[in-house]
Amino acid sequence: MELDSAREAPSREGSSLPGESSPSALGQDFSKILHRLTGQEARRGNNASGVPLKDLGALVEATECERLFEGTGAPPRGMCEILGQVAGALEKYAAPPKEEEGRGDGHPAVAEKAAEVGVLFLKLLEKVEAAKSSGVCPAWKTGLRHLAGPIYIFSITHSLEQPWTSPRSQDVAREVLRLLLQVTECGSVAGFLRGENEDEKGRFALILGLLKPDLNKESWKHNPAIKHVFSWTLQHVTRPWLNQHLERILPPSLLISDDYQTENKILGVQCLHHIVLNVPAADLLQCNRAQVIYHAIFNHLYTPEHHLIQAVLLCLLDLFPVLEKALHWKGNRARPTTHCDEVLQLILTHMESEHRLLLRRTYARNLPAFVERLGILTVRHLRRLERVIIGYLEVYDGPEEEARLKILETLKLLMQHTWPRISCRLVVLLKVLLKLICDVARDPNLTPEPVKSALLQEATDCLILLDHCSQGQVKGLLSKILQSCEDSKVVTCIRKVQQASEDAPSDGT
């Protein structure tokens, strides 16, 4: 552990072995403060644990920047390493407590400590900026290299809105991040991580190295901020810079997604989704990584959490093209079933029996993408899709009618891709569409007018497509309804269908 080595630093600095140069007095002062920061009293949150911060602040303010990075009688590298250890200890000191041990009344104390530590980091960065501007202390680059990682982790930990932060700690952390980017001459966090220029090495590998000890199976829950820092950092690095770090980012993402808490599952799936989007398919197919991701998130589809289902389906839809690159279809045989078929089959099974509105909307929201993805191969699922479409169109979905609107979009895509198989379903689909139009037209006040208009327009479009698929049979059947229908909205929809049929080419579809 880095802190273990940091705790041993004072004893090493305080020793004077034969043949070794004695350490500087300044280095000894920093080492003593480091020992106090990482000692038992500080780790237990003793009331006196804030004293090292005051002493450190006074020491940094009283030390000129040239002496801070050059040291007195100590090699610049040794002094800069001590500063890096102090920065790492400060970041750990301000970190939120372990989730099982953390109590709600302890969060204000964490935010207060974070604000104090943030002020110290601002002082250190101002010293770096002063040394950089003076031009007489080239060792500031070495010092910044040791300081940048812990300071970045601290700023991300406390700049986002979390239970352990307060408005003041967030403001201080954001100012620390702003000054860090200024000192490193980076225009954005992405530039800081990947490098502003092609020939410049970014700090993403450095940050991953600092996070690694806290991102294994035994320790990743000791600090509840680590998962957020990892996820936030990961999503700021895109292609083509991400694939070179694949071996270091994939295991933590899988670990977080495999947790029992829904919040962590969603966070892990979002990390995996970012990897799928920003790593070339060839790299994902090596060593069956894409299959590993698929199996890791497929089982989440059995959970009843709609937010998790939404994240998983979005990830899977972008993963399918990668998985299908490994499939080879020979024209003289039937096309093999794909992972998309497997997922759609499971979704339709759940949709048929689902009664919770949030889950119904989540499934309906993503169903058009699956039909679009499979295209003509959707005929494999036609019977089940028909049952789901009919069932969902018959049920009121609340004022926004999101589920029914998405189901109508699905029906339109289904008819466009599988039109030769639609005519035999003419009567069933015509009945359900007409019933929907009548229900919406007669709805007095439950649904807002814009939503009603959207439903009627989508249903009318479906009737027009159904008429094309059945070679004009819908037009003939609807002409009889006009003679007895008195509802103006229903009549308007029917006339739109007839007009579209007359304007369509004589060969139908």
Nearest one of 199, 189, 172 to 238, comparing CA atoms: 189
Q: Is the per-residue pLDDT at 99 higher than 70?
A: no
Core vs surface per residue 71-106: b (16+ CB within 10 A) or e: beebebebbbbbbbbbbbbbbbbbbbbeeeeeeeee
pLDDT value, residue 131:
83
Cis amide leading into 76 (omega within 30): no
pLDDT value, residue 56:
85
Q: H or E segment at 399?
A: none
Would you say 498 and 466 are in contact if contact means Cβ atoms under 8 Å apart?
no
Q: Is the per-residue pLDDT at 326 higher than 90?
A: no
Percent of the chain with pLDDT over 70: 85
Nearest one of 384, 311, 395 to 356, comparing CA atoms: 395
Most confident of 41-50, 208-217, 264-273: 264-273
pLDDT classification of 211: cutoffs 50, 70, 90: very high
In tens, the pLDDT along 160-209 reads: 899 999 999 999 999 999 999 999 989 999 999 998 776 678 899 999 99
**How many domains does the chain fold into?**
2
Q: Helix, strand, or coil here: 38? A: coil
Q: Is the per-residue pLDDT at 270 higher than 50?
A: yes
Mean pLDDT of 279-300: 95
Quickly list DSSP for 68-131: HHH-SSS-HHHHHHHHHHHHHHHHHHTSPPPTTT--GGGHHHHHHHHHHHHHHHHHHHHHHHHH
Mean pLDDT of 1-27: 43
Q: Tally the C-alpha atoms within 13 A of residue 187's C-alpha that lie toward its C-beta.
A: 2
Total count of residues recorded for the chain: 509
Within-domain flag for 415: yes
Maximum CA extent, the chain: 110
Nearest one of 167, 209, 202 to 181, comparing CA atoms: 202
In tens, the pLDDT along 112-140 reads: 999 999 999 999 999 888 888 876 677 78
Q: Cα separation of 96 and 104, whole Å?
A: 11
Higher per-residue confidence, 366 vs 327:
366
pLDDT value, residue 49:
53
Give, to the nearest 10 degrees, the angle between helix 357-374 and helix 402-417.
20
Mean pLDDT of 285-308: 95
- Domain with residue 425: its CATH number is 1.25.10.10
The token pair that represents 428 in the structure block: 């069933």
pLDDT value, residue 505:
58
Please count the other Cβ atoms lying within 10 Å of the Cβ belonging to residue 40.
8
Would you say 359 and 304 are in contact if contact means Cβ atoms under 8 Å apart?
yes
- Final residue of a structural domain among 161, 184, 207: 184
Within-domain flag for 369: yes
pLDDT value, residue 484:
74
In tens, the pLDDT along 23-79 reads: 467 778 788 888 888 765 555 554 445 667 888 888 888 887 777 776 444 455 577
Core vs surface per residue 242-262: b (16+ CB within 10 A) or e: beebbeebbebbbbbbebeee
Mean pLDDT of 295-299: 95
Within-domain flag for 235: no
Within-domain flag for 200: no
Would you say 417 and 367 are in contact if contact means Cβ atoms under 8 Å apart?
no
Higher per-residue confidence, 91 vs 483:
91
Core vs surface per residue 396-430: b (16+ CB within 10 A) or e: ebeeebbbbbbbbbbbbbbbbbbbeebeebbeebb
pLDDT value, residue 1:
37
In tens, the pLDDT along 411-442 reads: 999 999 999 999 899 999 999 999 999 989 88
Within-domain flag for 169: yes
Q: Angle at the Cα of 125 (from 122 to 126), degrees rounded to 5?
A: 85
- Final residue of a structural domain among 168, 184, 200: 184
Q: Cα separation of 304 and 301, whole Å?
A: 8
Helices (H) and strands (E) in the chain, counts: 25, 0
In tens, the pLDDT along 461-475 reads: 999 999 999 888 888
Within-domain flag for 298: no
Q: Is the per-residue pLDDT at 453 higher than 50?
A: yes
Within-domain flag for 195: no
pLDDT classification of 331: cutoffs 50, 70, 90: low
Q: Cα separation of 412 and 374, whole Å?
A: 14
Higher per-residue confidence, 175 vs 217:
175
Would you say 365 and 324 are in contact if contact means Cβ atoms under 8 Å apart?
no
- Final residue of a structural domain among 143, 165, 184: 184
Q: Cα separation of 195 and 203, whole Å?
A: 7
Would you say 227 and 266 are in contact if contact means Cβ atoms under 8 Å apart?
no
pLDDT classification of 501: cutoffs 50, 70, 90: low
Q: Is the per-residue pLDDT at 460 higher than 90?
A: yes
Q: Tally the C-alpha atoms within 13 A of residue 366's C-alpha that lie toward its C-beta.
A: 23
Would you say 358 and 306 are in contact if contact means Cβ atoms under 8 Å apart?
yes
Please count the other Cβ atoms lying within 10 Å of the Cβ belonging to residue 383.
11
The token pair that represents 162 in the structure block: 């979390």
The token pair that represents 130 in the structure block: 């002063």
> pTM higher than 0.95 for the full model?
no
Would you say 27 and 71 are in contact if contact means Cβ atoms under 8 Å apart?
yes
Q: Cα separation of 348 and 343, whole Å?
A: 9
Mean pLDDT of 250-256: 96
Range of the domain at 25: 2-184
3-state helix, strand, coil in the chain (%, to 5): 75, 0, 25
The dihedral over CA atoms of 181, 186, 189, 192, expressed in degrees to the nearest 10, equals -100
Within-domain flag for 296: no
In tens, the pLDDT along 377-417 reads: 999 999 999 999 999 999 998 889 999 999 999 999 999 99
Quickly list DSSP for 155-183: HHHHHS--TT--HHHHHHHHHHHHHHHHH
